[in-house]
Amino acid sequence: MSSPDPDAVRATFTSVAPRYDLANHLLSGGIDFLWRQKLVNLARQGAHEDILDLATGSGDVAFALRHGLAKDVCITGADFCEPMLARARKKRDKQALPVEGNQFVVGDCLNLEFEDESFDLITIAFGLRNLADRGLGLSEMRRVLKPGGRIIVLEFSQPYFWFRPFYYLYLKGVLPWLARWVTGDRDAYLYLGSSISEFPDRAGLVKELEDAGFSSVECKAYTFSIVALHLGFKKS
């Protein structure tokens, strides 16, 4: 399996940034709202002062956390694609949220410019599979997580066996053409299909998290297992 090329991934998201949110909602049938809410529900089960949302994109997870958690929680969204961050900042301004406690900064998951043990919770949604080196990225996440802190990964997974023919027919045969109509960029969503099909299943990602040093890793599948939530802890 070839690793994603960072420059190609950045170019892909730069291309679709203007209509990224619309595409996500339409192409998922709106179920992406439910997936994010599941992440927020899991985040609520712990106490947090500082949260880092990686691969934040246009900020949908960061905003879901903002509206679902205590008002005094500081949330930092980081992404390596500036056009996506620009959209997140516009959404923040439209919601009249203060910059302090709602920052969106350029950041590379493979080389995070944060001090050790800076965050109580790290979230990453639909971004882990885009890393050129997932092991290095997970190691960096663990480094900046406080002892006793948690990581929550929301990511595409491998669907239940019986559902796979229908899912991959949509993913590789239908979705790219719908995406071309919505965003004008069919190739970006051809990449989406290939990146999902090559990504580990739930058990495989559990192992990767454990190999990176996270403990008590658990996961739960949603929507016929086309997505999964993984939770891991950094030992105190």
What is the block-wise mean pLDDT of the chain (236 residues), using blocks of 10 residues? 76 69 73 96 94 96 97 97 95 97 97 97 96 97 98 96 90 73 62 80 98 98 97 93
Q: How many residues does the chain have?
A: 236
Six-digit token pair at 67?
Answer: 């509206």
Q: What is the pLDDT of residue 28?
A: 76
User: What separation in angstroms does the CA of 224 have from each of 142, 156, 161?
Assistant: 29, 11, 9
Task: Name the DSSP letter for residue 174.
Answer: I
Report how far Cα 5 is from the mean position of its chain's Cα atoms: 17
At 163-196, the pLDDT tens digits run: 999 988 888 877 777 766 666 665 656 666 778 8
At 9-21, the pLDDT tens digits run: 787 777 666 666 7
Residue 206 lies in a domain: yes
Q: What is the pLDDT of residue 182?
A: 63
Q: What is the pLDDT of residue 19?
A: 67
Number of domains in the chain: 1
Place of tokens 């609520």: 44
First to last CA, the chain: 35
Residue 6 lies in a domain: no
Query: How many other CB atoms are found less than 10 A from the CB of residue 185?
Result: 17
- Mention every residue, 6+ apart, whose C-beta is less than 8 A from residue 180: 186, 189
Q: What is the pLDDT of residue 177?
A: 74
Q: What is the pLDDT of residue 227?
A: 96
CATH of residue 219: 3.40.50.150
Residue 3 lies in a domain: no
CA neighbor of 140 nearest in space, from 157, 116, 120, 175: 116
Residue 9 lies in a domain: no
pTM for this prediction: 0.92
Residue 108 lies in a domain: yes
> Alpha-carbon distance 72 to 74, whole Å?
6
Q: What is the pLDDT of residue 100?
A: 96
Residue 18 lies in a domain: no
Give start and end residues of each alpha helix (H) in the chain: 6-16, 20-27, 32-43, 60-68, 82-94, 134-144, 164-169, 175-183, 186-197, 202-211
Residue 171 lies in a domain: no
Residue 50 lies in a domain: yes
Q: Look up the domain containing 217 and give its range.
A: 28-159+200-233
